[in-house]
Amino acid sequence: MNASGCLSERVHQIPPSGIRRIFDLACANPDGIDLSIGDPDIDVPKPVRDEAALSIHAGFNHYVSTRGLPELREAIATELRQRKLSFEDLLITAGATGGYYLAMMAVVSPGDEVLIVDPYFVAYANVVIMCGGVPRFIDTYPDFSLRADAIEPLITDRTRAIVLNHPGNPTGVVYTTAELRMVAELAERHGLHVVSDEIYDQFVYSQTPFTSIANVMDAAIVISGFSKRTGITGWRLGYVSGPKNVIEAMATLQQYSYVCANSIAQKAAVRALACDTSAEVEKYRARRSAFIAGLSSRFTIPKSAGAFYLFPEAPGKRADEFVDRCIEKKVFVIPGNAFSQYNTHFRLSFAVSDDKIGPAIATLNRVADEMQR
């Protein structure tokens, strides 16, 4: 066989992203309604744009420290302390996904098992596989709550970590303090890492203040970033806080992978931390409410208190058929099996302009009616 045609076994275990497949279809149909991707439609705050432009023109276009700009790290550390999060060190990363990849590389050895809450963000299981690990899935259906009796039986002597997404993508679920304490207690009793992706922590719609896993656990590895809160998804800027030994290991791994996060984005992010996002949160709260009000008569919609997503049950639990019919009508949503071992639900993103909400609701309801006939 020609060596140029040989690919690693790793590649054969990793399917293409189910989100990107639908998003590509949406991009090819600009006259449609794209509910497929969690890309906030907010304008980057002017102080952040101005700082980025000034940095470019001032020549700040070169490598920076692998760990990140000192002024940005200190500004983030100050914010985390104000929120009473427990951490020993932090690292600036190439997006939250880059942070997750480095965290898995740091704590997972070949053959190790990682428990992932199902439903989950598409990267979680595949990154574990890329690291030589084995993903195991914590079933949270039907209400997407965390339960000890669904977690503890999965723990073996090969288990190394539990992965949370909080607020959740695709569900929008925000875990209670009691749920987080339960996970922390299990992790501490069995000597496990907890890796919590909290990139949507600014977008919470309940009246109860957001609780991070690092508010209830000393050694959690918490991932966050600026993509969602500031609308700079393309700038690829995240950060990870946690135990010093884990962050040091991640920094070493970053030296040989991403090298450093985007220098210009880091300069601008210092300004981003001071930006008030409350108006944007209220905008998304209103959109969420509009979708729930418009769809609840035909769809079962599990609790959603954060992020940009709803995860309704598809008619007859036939997600692929429902999504295909919606695509025919140029409304783009994602089938549940992109995020889950099940394929009974579909994800919609309400990071979409207000003028598209009504038509989107009408089409989703019409397809549901057609499938019920």
- Residue 197 contacts residue 164 (beta carbons within 8 Å): yes
* Residue 67 pLDDT exceeds 60: yes
- Residue 322 contacts residue 35 (beta carbons within 8 Å): no
Tokens representing residue 42 in the block: 């907010």
Q: In the chain, how many H helices and how many E strands?
A: 14, 12
- Residue 354 contacts residue 284 (beta carbons within 8 Å): no
User: In this structure, what CATH number is given to the domain that contains residue 213?
Assistant: 3.40.640.10
* Residue 337 pLDDT exceeds 90: yes
End position of a domain, from candidates 240, 272, 304: 272
Q: What is the pLDDT of residue 3?
A: 61
Helix (H) or strand (E) holding 309: strand 309-310
Residues 6 or more apart in contact with residue 79 via CB below 8 angstroms: 273
103/27 same-domain check = no
- Expressed as residue numbers, the domain containing 299 is 3-44+277-372
89/39 same-domain check = no
* Residue 1 pLDDT exceeds 60: no
213/236 same-domain check = yes
SS (H, E, C) 22-82: HHHHHHCCCCCEECCCCCCCCCCCHHHHHHHHHHHHCCCCCCCCCCCCHHHHHHHHHHHHH
- Residue 7 — pLDDT band, cuts 50, 70, 90? confident
* Residue 174 pLDDT exceeds 80: yes
Residues 271-286 have a mean pLDDT of 90
Residues 303-327 have a mean pLDDT of 95
- Residue 334 contacts residue 309 (beta carbons within 8 Å): no
**pTM summary value:** 0.93
| 52 belongs to a structural domain | no
- Residue 30 — pLDDT band, cuts 50, 70, 90? confident
286/340 same-domain check = yes
Q: What is the pLDDT of residue 4?
A: 59
End position of a domain, from candidates 222, 249, 272: 272
What is d(CA 205, CA 302) in angstroms, rounded to the nearest whole number? Answer: 15
309/356 same-domain check = yes
150/211 same-domain check = yes
Q: What is the pLDDT of residue 18?
A: 67
* Residue 2 pLDDT exceeds 80: no
Residues 66-72 have a mean pLDDT of 97
177/321 same-domain check = no
User: In this structure, what CATH number is given to the domain that contains residue 31?
Assistant: 3.90.1150.10
Residues 6 or more apart in contact with residue 110 via CB below 8 angstroms: 131, 132, 133
Q: From the CB of residue 372, how many other CB atoms can be counted at a distance below 10 Å?
A: 9
Report the share of the chain in percent with pLDDT over 70.
98
Residues 263-279 have a mean pLDDT of 92
Q: What is the pLDDT of residue 303?
A: 83
261/330 same-domain check = no
323/248 same-domain check = no
37/95 same-domain check = no
| 264 belongs to a structural domain | yes
- Residue 17: closest CA among 116, 115, 125: 125
147/254 same-domain check = yes
302/268 same-domain check = no
| 286 belongs to a structural domain | yes
- Residue 21 — pLDDT band, cuts 50, 70, 90? confident
- Residue 201 — pLDDT band, cuts 50, 70, 90? very high
What is d(CA 335, CA 339) in angstroms, rounded to the nearest whole number? Answer: 8
Residues 330-337 have a mean pLDDT of 94
Q: What is the pLDDT of residue 227?
A: 87
Q: Mean pLDDT, the chain, as a whole number?
A: 93
What is d(CA 212, CA 222) in angstroms, rounded to the nearest whole number? Answer: 8
| 55 belongs to a structural domain | no
Residues 221-241 have a mean pLDDT of 92
How many structural domains comprise the chain? 2
| 53 belongs to a structural domain | no
What is d(CA 355, CA 186) in angstroms, rounded to the nearest whole number? Answer: 46
End position of a domain, from candidates 245, 272, 299: 272
- Residues linked to residue 334 through DSSP beta bridges, in sequence order: 347
